[in-house]
Each structure stands twice: as C-alpha cells, then as structure tokens.
Structure 1
Amino acid sequence: MHTLGITENMLEPSRTTFHGIVPGLSCSPMGKVRFDVLFGGLDNCLVENILFEVVDLDNPYHALLGRPALGKLMASSHTAYTKMKISAPNGVITVVGNYKVSLDTASAGSCLAESVVIAEEKKRIQTAVVLAQSSQLNLAALSSPLGGMAFKPPKETNDIVMDPSYPERTICIVSGLSEA
C-alpha cells in the first residue's frame, strides 16, 4: 500500500468481510481505495479504474482481483495455466503468471493460515484449561483420589445379585425399590 503511494487517510470505509483467507477466521479490511490499473503494453493497452479492499495481513499476495474486477474487465482466466485474457482496443491482452511463484505463494499462504489457526486453537485450549481449573476448585470436595468425580450413593442401598451363577457380581440400588 505504501509502495503504491497510498496512505491511510486515502482509504474509504469498507463494509466488506473476507472469509476463507485463513481457514475458520474472518478479516475486515482497513478500507477501500480506487485507482487506475494498466494492462498490456504500448501497442495494446487497457486502463481500468478498479476498487481494491486494503487488508492488513502478512500475506504473500500483493493484490487480488476479485469477481467485480474480473467482471468489469470481462476477463477469462485459467487457473492451471496461470493466464488471464482481457479484450482490449487492439486485440486480446494475455496476462501470464509464473507457475513457480504461484506455488511458492500458495505454500507461504498455507503456512500463514496454519500458524494463525494453531494460535487460535492455543487460545481456545487456554480458555478451556482456565474454565476447567476454576470448576475443579469448586468441585474439589466431590472429586475422587484418581481425579474423576466420585459417585456418592444414597445412605440406604441394597446390593442385588443379578445372576446366581456369579454371586460376586452385584448392582447397588436405593432401598425401597422393588426387585422387579
């Protein structure tokens, strides 16, 4: 943004939210800015005024052309060939990408996304630990020596043999219930 000479006071407010840049997280832009973009060369060029959403992310991409820009340009893109074709006054302009740079950028973006997701998961785990510790303090009197919750049956119980072949196998029921 600063390399292009765009300052923060040049940004207009934006109501856009990006989803999917980082899996599971959303991102709101700092603002939006409109400027002219030149496609092609001296013999065949096209200048279009395009609206860009400015996002403060550590991302390998410098600019992304979204659906509104591609629609305005009437562009035809092919992801596998990293090419985009645009109609211009003197014929078709072909914008060619670099496959290796594309792979490197995708890899860097994947690493960024992974680190952000891991950081978010760590926050959730820390929150869960704090909640567990606070609830454990409140329930300390009820816990068993092994750390789980201890079962406290009512005082009046009866042991019932379920199978006469195995008299040591019993269940404990509250007194006063029928055996049937």
Structure 2
Amino acid sequence: MDGGSSINILYVGTFDAMGISRSKLCTSIFPFLRIILGMRSYPMGNIELPDTFGDCSNFHTETLIFEVVDFDGSYHTILGRLCYAKFMTVPNYTYVKLKMPGPNGIITVSGSIEKAYACGREHFELATALTNSVELQKLRRTVTEGAPNSNEPTSSSPFRPTKDTMAIGIDPNDPIKTVQIWA
C-alpha cells in the first residue's frame, strides 16, 4: 500500500504468474516518475482487473487500472491512491491494515509487519543499486569534464566555510563538537 503513489502498479512477474496474455495490455504512452528517485519509467501497458477484498460473507469488488511494469520489485503490486479512493479505504501504515466499508460491515485486510519491513528493505536496496549505477555514470562524465586544474589546491572536503560563519557547540559536555553556521 502506497498512499503517495498516484497509480496502481503491477509487476510483470506477478502479471505473468496470473496467466493473462500480454496481448490484453492496453498501450500506455506516458512515463511515470519517482518510482525510483530521479528516474522515469515506461510501463509495458495497462490493464483493467477486478479486485476483491473480504470473504464470501462480506466483500467489496471494484475494477482497477494497473500499470504493468517490466522491472524488478520486491512486491507483487502497489496499490495507490486510486485504489484507496475507489474502495473508500482507510490505510493504517503502523499496523499494516486497510479498512473499508462492505455490505455487511467493515472489511479489514491485515498485512505482516515483518514482511512489510523485509519488502521495504529489499526495495530500498534495489532502488539504491539502480540509482547508484545511474549516478555513477553521471559522476564519471562530470568528473572527466570538470577535472580540477593541477595548479589549483585541492581539499579532502567539497564543503568549505565562507567568511561569514561561526562555530556553535552542539554538545555541552564536549566543546570540540561544533557545527559551522552562517552568521
């Protein structure tokens, strides 16, 4: 569940496991951003699928549009704000629960905190590796283009204080621990 996402995402591995033919995908021509910071992604297509929450005595079914993406993810799907709005869902991220109205009372969908943590960690590592590989390529180009002149002095830190800074103590027990702020 991702209340920050404006789209519903279905990973191609899950899509293929569902046994749906790829010919059922509709064309998606617009990229989406911020799945991985600073990068754009193009979906393989989108598909409308009926989604049901609850059990046989109390359930709610709606049709959602999913963007099918062809890259690795640690989840099967990501349900975004469009899903929440359509099902009138209230997410609780602390307890990993979704609550929504059903014909016979409230439907509660429970997740696993341990699994959510493991998936979040895996997703973070995957996104970091992908971002770092792209950033490394940019950095290599930047370093070769903007290599420092051998006549200029170099510093081990890219940050240099300006003339108008002052040291402020951050630990009353240790006067050596300071931070420089703009005066």
- The question of a shared fold, defined as TM-score above 0.5 by the shorter chain, is answered with yes
Q: Note the C-alpha offset of 1:38.
A: 1.7
Highest RCO, 1 vs 2 (Cα 8 Å, sep ≥ 6) = 2
CA RMSD of aligned residues (A): 2.0
Q: Distance in 1 between matches of 2:110 and 2:33?
A: 27
Q: Which runs of 5+ in 1 are unaligned?
A: 137-142, 150-180
Deviation beyond 6 Å, 4+ runs, structure 1: none
Structure 2: distance between partners of 1:72 and 1:112: 30
Q: Helix, strand or coil for the counterpart of 1:107?
A: helix
Q: Give the Å deviation of 1:97.
A: 0.8
SS at match of 2:77: coil
**Which of residues 49, 69, 75 is equivalent to 2:89?**
75
Q: Distance in 1 between matches of 2:21 and 2:146?
A: 46
Amino acid of the structure 1 residue aligned with 2:84: L
The correspondence for 2:80, drawn from 54, 66, 69, is 66
Paired position in structure 1 for 2:124: 110
Which runs of no fewer than 5 residues in structure 2 stay unpaired? 1-14, 153-183
Q: Distance in 1 between matches of 2:31 and 2:117?
A: 26
Output the amino acid matched with 2:114: K
**What letter matches 2:44 in structure 1?**
M
Of 100-109 and 2-11, deviating more is: 2-11
1:37 partner letter: D
| Structure 1 or 2: more strand by fraction | 2
Matched, 1:30 2:37: no
Alignment of 1:149-168 (within 5 A): none
The structure number with the bigger radius of gyration is: 1
d(CA) in 2 for partners of 1:41, 1:70: 19
How far apart, in 1, do the equivalents of 2:89 and 2:35 lie? Answer: 23
- Report the number of matched residues: 138
User: What are the Cα deviations for residues 37-56 of structure 1, in whole angstroms up to 9, with x where unaligned?
Assistant: 12111111122111111111
Percent identical among aligned pairs is 30
2:31 is aligned, of 17, 39, 45, to: 17
Take 1:63 and 1:121, find their aligned partners in 2: how far apart are those partners?
Answer: 27
